[in-house]
Amino acid sequence: MLRKAARVAFIQQHLQALYPEQPIPLDHKDPFTLLIAVLLSAQCTDERVNQVTPALFALADNPADMARLTVEAIRDIIRPCGLSPQKSAAIKRLSEILMAEHGGLVPVDMEALERLPGVGHKTASVVMAQAFGVPAFPVDTHIHRLAQRWGLTSGKNVVQTERDLKRLFPESAWNSLHLQIIFYGREFCSARGCDGRVCDICRTCYPHRKHPKRTLKA
């Protein structure tokens, strides 16, 4: 088993070699459309979101137009993404708040983002990182799983995992690593495709691991 410092260095180097460019998976054109896409991605695949958002953004791709839509009109379009009653209400209300309190702009402020309906810490972190380039390390259940497999955290939730990853990796790498880990997880270290003993990173970090790595629930 590699020591933690060696694991961290290897993981960062390996991911950078595999994914020197990190295209943002959700189609968008500005911070507002990214915010809506990230909100829709909760418990939904990026692919499905990208299939749904063109029709939504054809009707309203800015807070002013979105606020004028009815919740029902939004829900009819986003239904394939799941949780459409909650998501449609949140999208309309946050658009109204952006118009009333932020001049129709998405705020470049984590706390202000987290106060918007339907926007939790992870969604706010994604927007800060991908729309504004502010260092953040959004952690979802997939990153949580890989961080545990790679011995980077023993946290039982994404809050602790985020804290541990921010401590281990340089701030300048956070935004890239967030996407690189997601890409790697989908391609090589998925929930079913690797159990902590299959992919290159798992085998390099823990060459003598005998049993599947059990993930503590996020």
87 is catalytic: no
Own/partner pairs, 23-28, CB within 8 angstroms, 24+ separation: 24/130, 24/179, 25/179, 25/182, 26/50, 26/53, 27/53, 27/54, 28/53
Q: How far apart are CA 174 and CA 59, in angstroms?
A: 34
* Gap between the Cα atoms of 175 and 137, Å rounded: 6
CA–CA separation, 10 and 54 (whole Å): 39
- Of 181, 97, 200, 95, whose CA–CA distance to 137 is shortest? 181
Choice among 46, 87, 122, 156 that is catalytic:
122
Give the active site residue among 27, 29, 92, 140: 140
Two structure tokens written together for 58 = 């054809």
| 217 included as an active-site residue | no
Active site residues: 122, 140
